[in-house]
Amino acid sequence: MQVRDMGEFGLIARLMGEAKARDGVVVAIGDDAAVVEVTLGYRVVFTCDCMVEDVHFLRKAPGYDIGYKLMASNISDIAAMGGRPRYGVVTLITPADEEVAWLEDIYTGIKACAAQYGCQVVGGDTSRGPKVVLSVALLGEVLPGREMLRSGAQPGDLVCISGPLGASHAGLQVELGRIDASAACASEARLRHFRPVVPVDLALALGELGCRCANDISDGLASEAQEIAVASRVGVELDSALLPIAPEAQTIALALGEKPEDYALYGGEEYALLFCLPPSLAAEVCVRYPAVRFIGRVTEGDGVLLLHQGERERLRAAYTHFD
């Protein structure tokens, strides 16, 4: 069945399901707008992110994976601010001849990821266009004073990462057909590309402990570190020997004759957490979150430098949308 066979309101009913008001939702889907409760004493964190066919995903990709990844990218933005995700709305632009079953799979992935992290989809919009475009706008909450900002780094802070890097970029190589899907690590790499694990609990704990600087890795470690350096007016030094590179990235990069380090530095869509931590908090964070790795330090300088075998290299920017 195609979208034109159902019409706009039939499609909405099919994708969104039955309207239910629960868990802070006062008015759910089916009115001009949703009405939700905001926790007393909290500040609202608001973000949006989109995915465009042939830019962010290929048409052959399973709908569930596309939807899950879209919601995860928004949840990652909320977590990087020290917030907890609560409510989301989804916008869909689609050709009239698109298959409804595939769109249903996308929305199933969106709602599954939302449920995984304790938030709800409460509405959205649909329209017709030449390609599929999906966007999520997401509300979260954070206690005053616990926000983590790109501008919060201080010289002497430790630069940290929530876990191994490069697996998502390795999974992209599988999706692009550069590596056989049956090759070693291919399945796990592809899973990490489409279904990232967002460290929401870690982010909330960091905000509570007093960490004030974080950024999620959506466009690559080098770019996110540069954003912190610029916003905080500091330098960032990363040590190549300390970069935690995922086994999938190691295997696939070497199979393609490429550098695993580049997958860690320039591969985007990780949705890991990059943060700058006062040394006084390091021991407690390590005990509570053993996957965290210290990969460098904040300095009085500017820009991002990579220390490699005694040499310092200024890192280039990673992905930007309009290059």
pLDDT tens for 214-232 read 999 999 999 999 999 999 9
Q: Which of 46-60, 131-145, 309-323 has the lowest mean pLDDT?
A: 309-323
* Residue closest to 296 by CA, chosen among 284, 286, 281, 308: 308
| CB 34 within 8 Å of CB 28 | yes
| CB 58 within 8 Å of CB 49 | no
pLDDT tens for 182-208 read 887 899 999 999 999 999 999 999 999
Read off the tokens for 46: 């608001």
pLDDT band at 11 (very low <50, low <70, confident <90, very high): low
Strands 235-239 vs 25-27: parallel, antiparallel or unpaired: unpaired
Q: Report, as an integer, the average pLDDT of 3-30.
A: 70
pLDDT band at 103 (very low <50, low <70, confident <90, very high): very high
Read off the tokens for 54: 């042939």
The residues near 47 (Cβ < 8 Å, ≥ 6 apart) are: 74, 77, 78, 137, 138, 140
List the chain domain ranges: 3-142, 150-314
Q: 3-142, what's its fold?
A: 60s Ribosomal Protein L30; Chain: A; (3.30.1330)
Read off the tokens for 202: 């870690």
Longest dimension (CA), the chain: 64
pLDDT tens for 30-71 read 788 889 999 999 999 999 999 999 888 888 899 999 999 999
- Looking at residue 322, what is its pLDDT? 44
- Reduced to 3 states (helix: H, G, I; strand: E, B; else coil), residue 193 is helix
Q: Report, as an integer, the average pLDDT of 15-38.
A: 78
Computed from CA positions of residues 95, 98, 104, 105, in that sequence, does the dihedral angle turn out positive or negative?
negative
As a whole number of angstroms, the distance between CA 217 and CA 198 comes to 10
Give me the chain's average pLDDT, please: 91
- Reduced to 3 states (helix: H, G, I; strand: E, B; else coil), residue 13 is helix
How many whole angstroms from its chain centre is CA 155?
A: 27
- Reduced to 3 states (helix: H, G, I; strand: E, B; else coil), residue 174 is helix
- Reduced to 3 states (helix: H, G, I; strand: E, B; else coil), residue 126 is strand
Q: 150-314, what's its fold?
A: Phosphoribosyl-aminoimidazole Synthetase; Chain A, domain 2 (3.90.650)
